[in-house]
Amino acid sequence: MDAAGQQPTVSALSEGELLARIFPRLAMDAGHTRATLLGPGDDAAVVSAPDGKTVISIDTQVQDQDFRLHWPNGYRTTGFDVGWKAAAQNLSDINAMGATATSLVVSLTLPPATPVAWVEDLADGLTCAIRELGAASCSVAGGDLGRGREISVSVAILGTLDGGQAVLRSGARPGDVLALAGTAGHAAAGLALLESEVPVDRISPEQRVYLDLQCRPRPPLSAGPAARAAGATAMLDVSDGMVRDGRRLAVASSVAVDLDPEQLARLADRLRPAAELLGADPGEWVLGGGEDHGLLATFPAEAPLPPGFTAIGSIQALGNDEGPDVRIAGRSADTGGWDHFAH
């Protein structure tokens, strides 16, 4: 608090003073810093690439586009939430290649009125997600600060394949089994709760699980490397909805993705507590909801699925005059999913 009893904002500090608040919160133990040879403090970080290959991805969260500070149901997004989600969604992209994350860098754009405590919480969310989600070799190597009209958080992440080959979207083959690791529709149910008129303090603990998974997703980070080791032929992160992302796999591999209606019903049944509260169709969340950051992967029919994966469909060859598609009981699935430029 300042002399007037107000929480200080970033405009009250210099860039160096703000960084001095953030850097200690980004410190990781020795097990997380093997790949980061030089961390925050210089013009650039230095990270190792033992096998000569680096897997890289980047993602951005923008206030009022990817998150709100204040939701209709009264929930207030914390810096911890945004930091956790920034780490989780990027860790998931590396996971989807069958790789292991090694380091990340963060760029923050902040309005002058942003409370310093909110930024400190963001740094805590980043490091806590890395630890709790099991990214045992990843650390924050550095970043950048800037001023703008809304909060924006961009994370670029690096990973390693440890000498192996990446699992692409384009390798699915007719006869393969389609399998899911992680949850489906939980984050979408959480988003629906946030956007509802049901006050956050009236949401039961059973329903609160979905809200928490929207704000702090839990991608199954051990599943990606395990799928690669088990011979996965194709894989991708489910960030924009099962149908939209499944169609991306179908297009890349020139196949049809057939989803099993019984398995979809089982996934939808796990969403009943939120669906009954809101009068919603949980099947729509399963098919169209993103941000769970689970994995869709395909495996040869004879290969045992690795732990954490459940078969939810199959890969079929295209018939004459058929294009790549996602089908349920033989019919094209038309659930939209998330598109940044259509919302």
Quick: pLDDT tens for 305-321.
999 999 999 999 998 88
Domain ranges within the chain, ordered by starting residue:
12-160, 176-332
How many angstroms separate the CA atoms of 19 and 280, rounded?
45
**Rounded mean pLDDT, 150-167:** 96
- Largest Cα–Cα distance of the chain, in whole Å? 75
Question: Cβ contacts of residue 114 below 8 Å, gap of 6+?
Answer: 9, 10, 151
Compute the distance between CA of residue 228 and CA of residue 226 in angstroms, rounded to an integer: 5
pLDDT of residue 154: 97
Report the candidate in 36, 34, 35 with the shortest Cα–Cα distance to residue 45: 36
Checking if the pLDDT of 291 tops 50, the result is yes
Tally of CA atoms within 13 A in the half-sphere of 143 that contains its CB: 27
Residue 271 has pLDDT above 70, yes or no: yes
The pLDDT assigned to 36 comes to 85
Q: Is residue 234 predicted with pLDDT exceeding 80?
A: yes
Residue 32, token pair as written in the block? 């997380």
Give burial (CB, 10 Å; 0-12/13-18/19+) of 205. Answer: exposed
Averaged over 188-192, what is the pLDDT? 98
Which of 146, 106, 134 has its CA nearest to residue 26? 106
> Taking a C-beta distance cutoff of 8 angstroms, is the pair 28, 139 a contact?
yes
Q: Which residues participate in the annotated binding site for Mg(2+)? A: 43, 57, 59, 93, 144, 237, 240
Structure confidence at residue 340 (pLDDT) = 47
Fold observed for domain 176-332: Phosphoribosyl-aminoimidazole Synthetase; Chain A, domain 2 (3.90.650)
Which residues contribute to the annotated binding site for substrate? Answer: 66, 291, 338
By 3-state DSSP, what share of the chain in percent is helix, strand and coil, each rounded to 5?
35, 25, 40
Cα separation, 210 vs 81, whole angstroms: 14
Q: Are 234 and 171 in contact, with CB atoms under 8 Å apart? A: yes
Whose CA is closest to 304, among 230, 244, 253, 233?
230
Q: Which CATH class is domain 12-160?
A: alpha beta
pLDDT, tens only, 14-72: 888 888 888 888 876 655 567 888 888 888 889 888 888 999 999 999 999 999 999 99
Cβ atoms within 10 Å, residue 17: 12
Inter-CA distances, 35 with 20, 39, 124, 332, Å: 23, 10, 21, 45
The predicted-structure confidence for 117-126, as pLDDT tens digits, reads as follows 999 999 999 9
Averaged pLDDT for residues 328-337: 82
Quick one: angle between helices 15-26 and 116-132, nearest 10? 20
Read off the pLDDT band of 170 (50, 70, 90).
very high
User: What pLDDT sits at residue 33?
Assistant: 63
Backbone torsions φ then ψ of 294, nearest 5 degrees:
-80, -175
Binding residues: 43, 57, 59, 66, 93, 143-144, 169, 237, 239-240, 291, 338
